[in-house]
Amino acid sequence: MLTQLTIRDYAIVDRLELDFHRGMTAITGETGAGKSILLDALSLCLGERADAGSVRHGTERAELSARFDISRLPEAKEWLEARELGSDDCLLRRVISSGGRTKAWINGSPCTIADLKALGERLIDIHAQHAHQSLLREQQHQRLLDEYAGITAEVDELRGMHRDWSLLRKRLRQAQESGDEIQARRQLLRYQVEELDTLGLAEGELERLEEEQTSLAHAEQSLSEAQLALRYCEDDEEGALARLLRARSGLAELPGSDRGALAAALSLLEEASIQIEEAGRELNRFVDATELDPTRLAEVDSRLGDVHRIARKHHVMPDEVVELHRRLADELAQLEVGDDDLEALALKTRQLRDEWRTLAQRISDIRQRKACELGEQIQAQLAFLGMEKARFEVAVSPRESAQPEGIDQVQFRISANPGQPPRALNKIASGGELSRISLAIQVVAARHSTIPTLVFDEVDVGISGATAEIVGQLLRGLGERDAQILCVTHLPQVAAQGHQHLHIEKQATDESTLTQMALLDESGRIRELARMLGGVHLSERTLAHAHEMLSAGQHAAQH
């Protein structure tokens, strides 16, 4: 329930703070006094688009806030708690700068305008004066029926399923259209992978083959050189070791003084002979281990030739053949799985289609059943509003093609005169009839609304006399159903039925124009009703009529 609305520097409002209560609050004022300012300010708090031009002239920004008691609004409480903003008290605040920038808060925490709008839809339901225009659109007929039937959540689910189903159908169609190309690619990959499988080149094998080829190709030369070096080291007469031994023996036989001077040379010759012996042993081991293998060399040359041939065929380097094999095999595996995926996608598409059709049929059954109830309730309200002979029906018929919202076409039809068949609302020429039809529908819709705060913005346009008094009784009756009704009206018969009466007045000076709003006491209400009845100059007769109207309205409402 709306408990307070604060407006500062908005339009022609300087500063205003209004408290609201349960029941019906009538809102009146002369044309141009600023009744729309009140609802516009409230709408901005609920997330409507802001206009920098609405900031009061000469000020930097407009500030608006609306406070709600949501202790009995579980959906709003759940929405806030999900965002850790939960409380039985909800404060929406909006600031609009003269430069066009806007900021918003929920319970003191910054939020987006989309958040305000999402929460606002759970707090207030606004019935505008031009609602009868939207009634000419059949999409509105279905929405109203779904709200009455309490299946808006199911229809939202159906709409989401239809969206997912459409996406799956598109993916399936694209997959099927590209099937020929995929099949050709799959066949090529199978051939290429089989060829690479036959080659069977292992990781690191190319490097080992190249090293082995180099070793085998130079084995004869290496063996010959090693044998020659071994002869130089070990030849009994001419070898390096034999000569070193003779040189060392000759120096060792010199006289003592000369031998002492050559001691260092003798030591080096000793070490050299040891090194020569060690070199001979290493050369012997190499010669014994080395074998000439022309057959293995031919095998290695052939294997390397296969690798290079495959590399040239695929336009890659030989050392990239292993990675090529892995990449092509992975792609083939994905395409092979793609066959299964295509069938799985087709199956999922069929399953979602069947689920959508099942839910659509269940929703259709509910619509068919509730359409009769809704038609009867609206017809009863039309009789109450002076259209006793009207026959109203909510027709539900199959659509030619499925739509996101289901398989039904919903159309409101009316016969205003006996003997005439019901016709679509857009065939009704009378604006007055449309206004009363619209009001009857809105009253029925409001009775089934889960939102306790309902705003009626001049929905009584085109209505007068006794019907206007009935309209007031209807709105007051809604307010007495533990709800809060805010009604902007130009009819005294409606205003007299309110539990409270809020008056809006524009005051102009040489320097500025301001709007003031005040909650009227009984005498104030009588004067305002008299103004609405007879104009600016209030006669005793007009005041008496206004007093009688107020008394009758309050007395009739109590009974």
**265 by DSSP, 3-state: which?**
helix
Q: Note whether residue 247 is domain-resident.
A: yes
**Token pair 């009455």 in the structure block, residue:** 148
Residue 440 has pLDDT above 60, yes or no: yes
Q: What is the pLDDT of residues 443-453, one digit of tens each?
A: 887 777 777 78
Q: What is the pLDDT of residue 227?
A: 66
**Token pair 């007068």 in the structure block, residue:** 464
Q: Are 30 and 502 in contact (CB under 8 A)?
A: no
Q: What is the pLDDT of residue 340?
A: 59
Q: What is the pTM of this model?
A: 0.59
Q: Note whether residue 385 is domain-resident.
A: no
Q: What is the pLDDT of residues 468-525, one digit of tens each?
A: 888 888 888 888 877 788 988 889 999 999 999 999 888 776 666 677 888 999 999 9
What is the chain's mean pLDDT, rounded? Answer: 84
**Least confident window among 167-181, 247-261, 355-369, 414-428:** 247-261
Q: Note whether residue 287 is domain-resident.
A: yes
Q: Note whether residue 387 is domain-resident.
A: no
**Least confident window among 324-328, 508-512, 528-532, 539-543:** 508-512
Report the DSSP beta bridge partners of residue 127.
456
Cβ-count burial 48-63 (b if 16+ within 10 Å, e if not): bebeeebbbeeeebbb
Q: Note whether residue 188 is domain-resident.
A: yes
Domain count, the chain: 1
CA 547 to chain centre: 56
Q: Are 321 and 311 in contact (CB under 8 A)?
A: yes
Question: What is the average pLDDT across 16-40?
Answer: 84
The most confident of 218-232, 263-277, 513-527, 544-558, by mean pLDDT: 513-527
Q: What is the pLDDT of residues 346-383, one digit of tens each?
A: 899 999 999 999 999 999 999 999 999 999 999 998 88
Q: Which residue has the higher pLDDT, 438 or 8?
A: 8
Closest by CA position to 362, among listed 406, 399, 411, 412: 406
Q: What is the pLDDT of residue 360?
A: 95
Share of the chain above pLDDT 90, in %: 31
Q: What is the pLDDT of residue 468?
A: 84
Closest by CA position to 524, among listed 506, 548, 502: 502
Q: Note whether residue 120 is domain-resident.
A: no
DSSP strand pairing (61-69 vs 23-29): unpaired
Q: What is the pLDDT of residue 511?
A: 66
Amino acid making up residue 475: L
Report the DSSP beta bridge partners of residue 62.
96
Closest by CA position to 128, among listed 529, 357, 457, 490: 457
Residue 429 has pLDDT above 60, yes or no: no
Q: Note whether residue 532 is domain-resident.
A: no
Return the DSSP state at 50. P
Q: Note whether residue 263 is domain-resident.
A: yes
Question: What is the average pLDDT across 185-212?
Answer: 88
Q: Which residues contact 454 (CB under 8 A, 6 or more apart)?
A: 124, 125, 126, 127, 446, 478, 483, 484, 485, 486
d(CA 234, CA 423): 126
Closest by CA position to 175, among listed 12, 344, 419: 344
Distances (CA, A) of 361 to 301, 369, 493: 75, 12, 46
Q: What is the pLDDT of residue 512?
A: 67
Residue 559 has pLDDT above 70, yes or no: no
Question: What is the average pLDDT across 443-470?
Answer: 78
d(CA 498, CA 473): 9
Residue 21, burial from CB neighbour count under 10 angstroms (0-12, 13-18, 19+): middle
Q: What is the DSSP string of 394-431?
A: EEEEEEEEEETTEEEEEEEEEE-STTSPPEEGGG---H
Q: What is the pLDDT of residue 536?
A: 66
Residue 326: which pLDDT band, with cuts at 50, 70 and 90?
Answer: very high
Residue 231 has pLDDT above 60, yes or no: yes
Question: What is the average pLDDT across 278-290?
Answer: 75
Q: Which residue has the higher pLDDT, 220 or 174?
A: 174
Question: What is the average pLDDT across 533-543?
Answer: 81
Per the structure, the complete domain to which residue 238 belongs is given by 183-335
| Angle, in degrees to the nearest 10, between helices 263-289 and 219-234 | 140
The most confident of 16-20, 294-298, 338-342, by mean pLDDT: 16-20
Amino acid making up residue 281: R
